[in-house]
Amino acid sequence: MKRLFPILSVITAASLAYALYQALVVAPTDALQGEVYRIIYYHVPSAWTAFLLFLINFVASVVYLIRRSPKADIVAVVSAEVGVVFCTIVLVTGPIWARPVWGIWWAPGDIRLTSTLVLWLIYVSYLVLRRFSSSAQTQMLAAALAVFGALDVPLVYFSIWFFRTQHPQPVIGGGGSMDPRMLHTLLISWLAFLCFAFLICWSRFRLELLKREVEQAHAMESLVGAGASAKASMPLSRSSR
Amino acid sequence: MNAIKFLFAAYIATWVIHASYIGTLVLRFRRLRQQLKELGQAK
């Protein structure tokens, strides 16, 4: 396992570099938007990766609610946190792309944009709940919030099919056509981002294990400390009788 | 075309966000390892 991480890191770095080369050099220029359309190679794969991570969070949360499995809880928190990072990228690169193409940074009231922002807020509140709540029920409450939060994912994805929106139609399955070289580059970028997301999730998983180990060690130390002070106070309490 | 700066801004923003997140992970790892070390010494 120790060897696998550096090997995967090298593969991920190589695939990200190759995806960048494809996106900036190989993919053809868009006839309407010009060079700026190349933001699609970071914006769309980040969105797909975020959706996948939120789906993993949903499954892990359901498993946790049914089995109370600590591993499922770790997978849930890891996928939510990394998903929020990718969703942040979507929300940052989207307006940067919209400004030169639509002439505005943000279309207020647009269902796709608003539902994505709401999705981000739901998972940020999930992480805030986990970080600052000290209740014994925190993990269960967070899992329940994640189950309801996941309902927003299909709303975000299908909103452009069912509502009038400024956002373009989906790249795949939206009825539109895309140059095969563009599609090829898009899929390569997604693959590279998936490798990268997997690597980050792996690191975050190890971090969570370490965090729980430290918490356990702290709990053991305070137990031992409490036991020692109880022993020390025993003769006193006997003599006071 | 002026729009090219938006392309680079988007790519740079993406990697700044990823680098910042990886930075926080590294800091959290260091802090936890330090805590674990201190707990080990206390024993």
Question: Please, what are the averages of pLDDT over each run of 10 residues along chain A (241 residues)?
Answer: 88 96 92 89 95 96 94 95 97 94 87 91 95 86 91 83 72 69 94 96 94 86 75 59 43
Question: What is the pLDDT at residue A42?
Answer: 95
Comparing CB atoms, the residue among B6, B11, B14 nearest residue A100 is B6
In chain B, the residue whose alpha carbon lies closest to the alpha carbon of A36 is B7
> Cβ(A85)–Cβ(A49) under 8 Å?
no
CB atoms within 10 A of CB A214: 18
Residues with Cβ < 8 Å from A159, sequence gap 6 or more?
A111, A112, A115, A165
Would the pTM count as exceeding 0.90?
A: no
> Cβ(A193)–Cβ(B11) under 8 Å?
no
> Cβ(A193)–Cβ(A49) under 8 Å?
yes
Mutate to test the interface with A, among B8, B14, B17, B31 (most CBs of A within 10 A): B14
Comparing CB atoms, the residue among A99, A204, A217 nearest residue B6 is A99
Quote the distance between the C-alpha of residue B15 and its chain's center: 10
User: What is the rounded CA–CA span in Å between residue A26 and residue B25?
Assistant: 34
Comparing CB atoms, the residue among A34, A46, A88 nearest residue B3 is A34
Question: What is the pLDDT at residue A173?
Answer: 60
Question: What is the pLDDT at residue A241?
Answer: 43
Strand-pairing partners, residue A30, are A34
Nearest to B18 by CA among A128, A195, A21: A195
ipTM of predicted assembly, 2 dp: 0.91
Start-to-end CA distance of chain B, whole Å, equals: 65
Question: What is the pLDDT at residue A105?
Answer: 92
> Cβ(A126)–Cβ(A81) under 8 Å?
no
Which residues of chain B register pLDDT less than 70? Answer: 1, 42-43
Quote the distance between the C-alpha of residue A217 and its chain's center: 29
> Which residues of chain B approach chain A closer than 8 Å at the C-beta?
1-4, 6-7, 9-11, 13-14, 17-18, 21-22, 25, 28-29, 32-33, 35-36, 39, 42-43
> Cβ(A83)–Cβ(A58) under 8 Å?
no
Long-range pairs for A59-66 at CB < 8 Å and ≥24 separation?
Answer: A61/A142, A61/A143, A61/A144, A61/A146, A61/A147, A61/A150, A62/A143, A62/A147, A64/A139, A64/A140, A64/A143, A65/A140, A65/A143, A65/A144, A65/A147
CB atoms within 10 A of CB A62: 16
How far is CA A217 from each of CA A138, A141, A240, rounded to the nearest angstrom?
20, 25, 35
Q: Which amino acid is at A86?
A: F
